[in-house]
Chains A and B, each alone.
Chain A
Amino acid sequence: MNLALDTAIKALMVNEAAVNVCSNNIANAGTDGYSRQRAIINSDITVNCTDVNKPMGTGATVEDIQRMHDNFLDIQYRNTNSQNSYYSSEYSCLKNIESLTGGLNNNDGNLKAVFNLFWNDMQELSKNPEDKGLRENIKGSAENLCKSFNYLYKNIADIQYQYTQLSEARVTEFNNTLTQLKDLNKKISAAHNNGEGYNDLLDKRDTLLDSLSGLTNITVKKNNDDSITILSSGCTLLSGDYFKKLSVDTSGTMLNLKFNDGTSFNPSQGELGSLIDLVNNKIPDYQDKINTLSIDFMNKFNTIHSSGYGLNGTTGKKFFEGTGAKNMAISDDINNVSNIACSKDGTPGNNEVILDLCNLNSQNIINGGKSSPLDFFDSIVSNLSQETNHCKTEQSNCSVISDSIETKRKSYNGVSLNEETVNMMSYQNAYSTSAKLLQSINSMYDSLLSIFK
């Protein structure tokens, strides 16, 4: 009967523990990153019952509180998450540049529209080259053209600066995450060695790893003491409680990520990977193209312009000055609009030079004679749109995949209230029956003791 009493008491305790686990699950049903837990209940050892000389079970015992978590889905999720954040960062930056170029709208103050206005004004002047009013128009629209080039160049440079700033913020985030992971490594390995539970720490660690995977591509290796080693693009980011602090090096012309031991870090994926690509390649590339357009156009325009004669017989004057899109401006000579050269022979009505200047629009003078100014600008927009579109497609593919993995992960790791309710009912029933059992055993003791009255 003592055996039965022991078993009944253990049953009470086991079911209470199981209800505890349920209660913890229900409490965390909405907690981010929480993995449901399950009480692993095993039957206890069998002993030989001396009364009947037969082996008998001694009830149940809680083996472990298991954390239900699928590590394989984590790996899949983090890989796609790295790609996802890479492409979404590229997309938002390229989209920014695309909107600066004005896209398909010809009637806003974008470079293309201003270019067209300049051309229209030149055409008008070609019909009345002696008209000072039309010359003033040209001067105005040329100033606008220069300003549009200046703004576009400056705005792209601003984007580059913003993304450099952003990469500093992301590097700080990266270091914070790794510091927290380092602390967790320490705590987990200590808890592991002392045989304590650390399911909550594992949840925290997985959440941190998820956000780290958004910053860079990572490979996670588990060590014997449940601590982890994190590798990324050939660098060890964290191993035990060893970790290297990352910093942004902008001393050169390029954006470099460097660890405090001097080694450089070139992630291929994640937001950091995209930031390096954007700041070092993509943004300067478009800036260069705008520059090429302005320099080639200016040079060719000036060459033709300086061969012509102004209203007052002046010749050899430059129309534009500056070294590129950054500081393109109309030259001081043009402030006197009589200096605008339309004539080839010095007669006021001759318009051959201005007609030649008009024709530049459709001549292949840009980029080593490969395309016309308009075509070149269109090709910049077109390139941008293709790259933007590519990033958008990749990003939406990645997010479909990562969403489906995340759904799988949540459905495996997450708490189901229905399941908990059913478990709770079954443990609750078992608990009340165990209590009933104690009552029976108690009355058995009573019956036995009543013999001695």
Chain B
Amino acid sequence: MRVSDTSRIFSSLNYLNINDNSMQQILQKLSSNKNINSPDEDPGLAERIMALKNIQVSNSQYLKNSNDAKSMLSITETAADNVKDLLVKSQELLAQANDGALNTDSKEAICSQLDSIIKELVDTGNQSVNNKYIFGGTETTNKPFTINGNPPTSVIYNGNNSDIEYSVSENVDIKVSISGGSLFKNIINDVITARNNISSKNTTATSTTDVQNLDNDLGELLQNITSIGSKSNFIDFNIKRIKNNNIDIDIMRSGIEDLDMAQTITDLNLKENAYKTSLSVMGRYGQLNLADYLR
């Protein structure tokens, strides 16, 4: 093929350009440390990266929600444990009160102990976290329990029995609350009744009905505590699952998106050599001229 000076310069420049371009691409990859910098470089991979990143975004939110759900449940669990202790204490007091040999002073002492237990139960039921009452169902801004009468005759529950759910995974909402209506209301009322029966020396009721009621209450409470525990377990499992999933996804995403440094630096060396060679060839070839050899 005939070679003219313009074609020689044109094609040398072309080769330089090609090498320049591939150098630039590699440098861009190295400086961003990413295999793909914009989706059009590889639409297929980009689509997968976007999908994986979506999962990561929602996973991290669900992880946060799960942790919050867990702390809500553990607050509830602590409160329920507290209630259990108070209930057991009331049962013991009731057993003491049923001792026929007890004098009036002792019974009054028992009553005042029961009074403080009732107060503690109501305080636990009115517990608030982040300025909201956690045992009022979805009525979170009103104090759930108020006591009628002094000495107390009954407790009024101002909340409702709706549950609050947190979203801990896509389309999985989990109940994180137990309304005070189902957890406390009967217990408080039963303790109040028992206290009043002791105070009015209604021994038949105290010895049979009240003991029976408190036993039932304890049974129900234990059931509630178990269900909170199993929810906690589920949340723990969920947290573990999300964490593992995040690790898997990060490994996948990194495999696609992150740069294989060793490979790229080897490529860079190759391209650099090619670039140097094309530069030096152009420099040398360009200097050659027949006129230099004529005398």
Contact = CB atoms under 8 A, between A and B. Distances in A.
B173 interface: yes
Contact of A349 (B5, B137, B290, B294): B137
Contact of B139 (A94, A349, A418): A349
A447 to B, nearest CB: 35
Contacts of B138: 343, 345, 347-351
A389 B173 CA distance: 41
B213 interface: no
Contacts of A416: 2-5
A388 B42 CA distance: 10
Given A123-B167, A355-B165, A103 B39 contact: yes
A312 B294 CA distance: 101
B118 interface: no
**Interface extent on A, as a size class?**
35 or more
Nearest to B39: A385
B263 interface: no
B4 A410 contact: yes
B167 A355 contact: yes
Interface in A198-250: none
B207 to A, nearest CB: 41
Nearest to B293: A421
Contacts, number: 169
A421 B290 CA distance: 7
B130 interface: yes
Interface residues of B, number: 54
A104 B41 CA distance: 11
B8 to A, nearest CB: 8
Residue among B11, B40, B50, B64 with most chain A CB within 10 A: B40
A392 interface: yes
Contacts of B89: none
B246 interface: no
B54 A349 contact: no
The secondary-structure label for the interface of chain A is helix
A403 B5 contact: no
Interface stretch (A10-18, A47-55, A254-262, A376-384): A376-384
B6 interface: yes
A368 interface: no
B6 A358 contact: no
Nearest to B179: A349
B20 to A, nearest CB: 14
B40 A347 contact: no
B54 A378 contact: yes
Contact of A126 (B6, B140, B167): B167
Interface in B105-136: 130-132, 136
A349 B159 CA distance: 10
A349 B167 contact: no
Contacts of A103: 37-39, 46
B46 A381 contact: yes
B61 A348 contact: no
A413 interface: yes
A417 B136 contact: no
A349 B6 CA distance: 80
Contacts of B132: 128, 130-131, 348-349
Interface of A: 29-30, 36, 94-95, 98-99, 103-104, 106, 116, 119-120, 123-124, 126-128, 130-131, 343, 345, 347-352, 355, 358-359, 361-362, 374, 378, 381-382, 384-386, 388-389, 392, 403, 406-419, 421-422, 425
5 contacts: A349-B164, A389-B40, A417-B290, A418-B290, A421-B289
Interface of B: 1-7, 10-11, 14, 36-43, 46-47, 49-51, 53-54, 57-58, 61, 64-65, 68, 130-132, 136-141, 160, 162, 164-167, 170-171, 173, 257, 289-291, 294
